[in-house]
Structure 1
Amino acid sequence: MYADFFGFKQSPFSLSPDTELFVNLQGHQRCFELMTHVLESGEGFLKVIGEVGTGKTILCRKLLRYLETEAQDNYHSVYVPNPMLSPIGLYRAVGKELGLNLQQQQDTDALLSHITDRILALADSHRSIVIVVDESQSLPAQTLEALRLITNLETEDRKLVQVILFGQTELDTLLNQDRFRQLRQRITFAHRLTALKAVETKQYVNFRLSRSGYNGRPLFTNKAIKQLHRFSNGTPRLINVLAHKSLLAAFAEHSSVVTPKHVKTAAQDNGERHALPLSWILTASILIFLGVIAWRLL
């Protein structure tokens, strides 16, 4: 809606995990480098923990893109986006990602045998399996144990299957159960994502604006950035939501910069008291947008 007004080629603060908008902030870049290091060193399990909205999904997508492009000669990636699966469901999902048709198979031992044969065949071509599980705090206990069984395959010098678990902090609670002590021992590395600092919030906002085609003067004032960091607590997903609504509020006023007032309006609409309804902003924005089009046609 406001793309033409601000000169964007795409939405800078979409909630979709677009890897083209991945910001190489210190914490996220360090996490990505850790993941690639763990894979190259042949370690078994890696755990990436973070609160809701701290950037786990976009890191997960960036890793998958790396595995499917730059590292495709060395790895075969298996992505499990929905962990709410039974052991049979997990084995079928893994088998499908490995190019097997196991949908009619009902026996877990037979499923695991087919998967094992495929993994060994890939190992003969010098490719390791990387299983990436998103939202892994939702893994049922039996399915988590089934996942561990897949990772038993190894040679004298390397693992044939590596697993990276992305999850919220509840994943630690799940893994701390006594029955998962064997699995805990296999998790050789872990990384915890944290909220952005104020200076990182500014870098985050400006990078995404630039990647989206904006090349004018600073769009968010320094005070607006400080407000954005305060209301979002440095959580990337909330930064996206509030930045989008702030741009909408600025567009509704035909303002070429985003001020603290616009950020406050966005925060109010996002749950604060005395909120300015977003419908008002949208209505005003549409009227202005239609007015600009009509003026151009005259």
Structure 2
Amino acid sequence: MYESYYGLDSKPFQLTPDPDFFFASRWHKRAMSYLQYGLSQAEGFIVITGDIGTGKTTIANSLVAEIEDDIMVAHIVTPKLSPDELVKMVSSKFGLDVAGKTKADILKMLEVYLYDLSATGRRALLLVDEAQNLPLETIEELRMLSNFQEFGKPLLQSFLLGQEELQPILRAPNMEQFRQRIVASCHLAPLTQEETKEYIEFRLHHAGWNGSTLFADEAFARIYQFTRGVPRKINTLMDRILLFGYLEELETLTEEAVDSVISEVREEMFLPETNAVEPDSEDDDEYEPAVGANAQHKPRKKLMTPNGNEIQDAEYYKAMLSELVDALDDAISHKIKLTQYIDKLLKKKYRTYVRLKEDD
């Protein structure tokens, strides 16, 4: 509707993930590099996490669009699948007939398929989207599928994409074997204020925009403040802004125009008014992104030392805490194993005691 009015060839802000509109922010570049690196290694798991709407599926689709014919790709979006259901779904995605087959039969069929694929110089890649929905035992089944190997290389490689809830699942003590097979992992962060402007202009250009002044600088700041740099939220808001501009016959979209659309969206989605302070692009890290429909933007708490000094290198401490969590997981795992060993030893001694008493 508004495309011809603003000289566009197509809609620039569709909600459906489109690899042609992939915007490589700093974190998205890193995630794509990890995926490409993992693909070149032809082994191990790659884990990409991020909040809702940060572009995980777009990255996956962009990667698939670049893949050569020597890699067969199966892409699944997972509800809460049991291990058996996962095996059936993966096999069916690779074109195998699983109707009426037992799990053992399906696994054998999948193994033959993967070996035949390897014999032709090709291999299989499984993209698992919304992986945070998978139970632990189903993720373990994924690891077992990677045991189909030839010449020391797995015949099936898997990439896991999921929301932030996937991280604690993979940190569970009984997921140690899976963690050891993760080649790389990355968490997608929302766009910064500067990247939000670049993202909007990138998609407009890709849709045929001639580069004339369409948005006032203040309008970009308001868009970032409301969306907090989440690409899907930006797409939703931008589509409404362009429609508003067309209906009001605006050639330049100002801060006031953006505010009018934001007010409409708030009323439709029952979002509360916020008194958020608009952050400067250099101070983006001082603000905590809102999560959920009713969340309000609030200043992020600064990390402080016991002496009251602000910690400057927060990333260092985040990494250190992550290592401590892993070490704690290992300690818990060792304790569980030790407990199990002592339990077995006591049972063995008890059985010996009972046998001796019976002999008496």
Calculate the TM-score normalised by the size of structure 1. Answer: 0.85
TM-superposed deviation, 1:30 = 2.4
Please give the secondary structure, in 2, of the residue aligned with 1:3: coil
Matched, 1:213 2:208: yes
In the aligned structure 2, how far is the partner of 1:170 from the partner of 1:103?
33
For 2:40, give the aligned amino acid. E
TM-superposed deviation, 1:25 = 2.4
Contact kept? 1:83, 1:133, Cα under 8 Å:
no
In the aligned structure 2, how far is the partner of 1:148 from the partner of 1:41?
17
For 2:210, give the aligned amino acid. N
Matched, 1:135 2:156: no
Residue deviations 1:87-145, cap 9 Å, x none?
A: 2222222112222111221x222211111111111111222211100010011233222
Q: Which residue of 1 aligns with 2:45?
A: 45
Task: Select which of 254, 258, 266 maps to 1:263.
Answer: 258
Gaps of 5+ in 2: 274-360
Calculate the TM-score normalised by the size of structure 2. Answer: 0.71
For 1:50, give the aligned amino acid. G
Q: Where in structure 2 are the equivalents of 1:185-204 lying within 5 Å?
A: 185-204=180-199
Contact kept? 2:34, 2:46, Cα under 8 Å:
no
Contact kept? 1:78, 1:94, Cα under 8 Å:
yes
Q: Which residue of 2 aligns with 1:79?
A: 75
Q: Which residue of 2 aligns with 1:61?
A: 61
Task: Select which of 148, 167, 171 maps to 2:162.
Answer: 167
In the aligned structure 1, how far is the partner of 2:17 from the partner of 2:27?
17
Matched, 1:144 2:139: yes
Q: Which residue of 2 aligns with 1:95?
A: 91
In the aligned structure 2, how far is the partner of 1:43 from the partner of 1:225?
42
TM-superposed deviation, 1:229 = 1.0
Q: Which residue of 2 aligns with 1:282?
A: none
Q: Which residue of 2 aligns with 1:244?
A: 239
Q: Which residue of 1 aligns with 2:291?
A: none
Give the % identical residues: 32
TM-superposed deviation, 1:178 = 2.1
Contact kept? 2:88, 2:103, Cα under 8 Å:
no
In the aligned structure 2, how far is the partner of 1:87 from the partner of 1:159?
19
TM-superposed deviation, 1:243 = 1.2
Contact kept? 1:44, 1:161, Cα under 8 Å:
no
Matched, 1:22 2:22: yes
For 1:99, give the aligned amino acid. G
The answer to which of 245-254 and 40-49 deviates more is 245-254
The total of aligned residue pairs comes to 270
The answer to which of 16-25 and 261-270 deviates more is 261-270
Q: Which residue of 1 aligns with 2:297?
A: none
Please give the secondary structure, in 2, of the residue aligned with 1:133: strand
Cα root mean square deviation, aligned: 1.8
Gaps of 5+ in 1: 275-298
Residue deviations 1:229-258, cap 9 Å, x none?
A: 111111111111111122122222210111
TM-superposed deviation, 1:8 = 1.6
In the aligned structure 2, how far is the partner of 1:156 from the partner of 1:38?
18
Q: Which residue of 2 aligns with 1:112?
A: 107
In the aligned structure 1, how far is the partner of 2:128 from the partner of 2:79?
7
1 or 2 for the larger relative contact order (CA 8 Å, sep ≥6)? 1
Please give the secondary structure, in 1, of the residue aligned with 2:150: coil
Task: Select which of 128, 153, 166 maps to 1:158.
Answer: 153
Structure with max Cα Rg: 2
In the aligned structure 1, how far is the partner of 2:99 from the partner of 2:252?
55
Matched, 1:122 2:122: no
In the aligned structure 1, how far is the partner of 2:17 from the partner of 2:65?
12
In the aligned structure 2, how far is the partner of 1:83 from the partner of 1:63?
23
Please give the secondary structure, in 2, of the residue aligned with 1:20: helix
For 2:17, give the aligned amino acid. P
Contact kept? 1:83, 1:134, Cα under 8 Å:
no
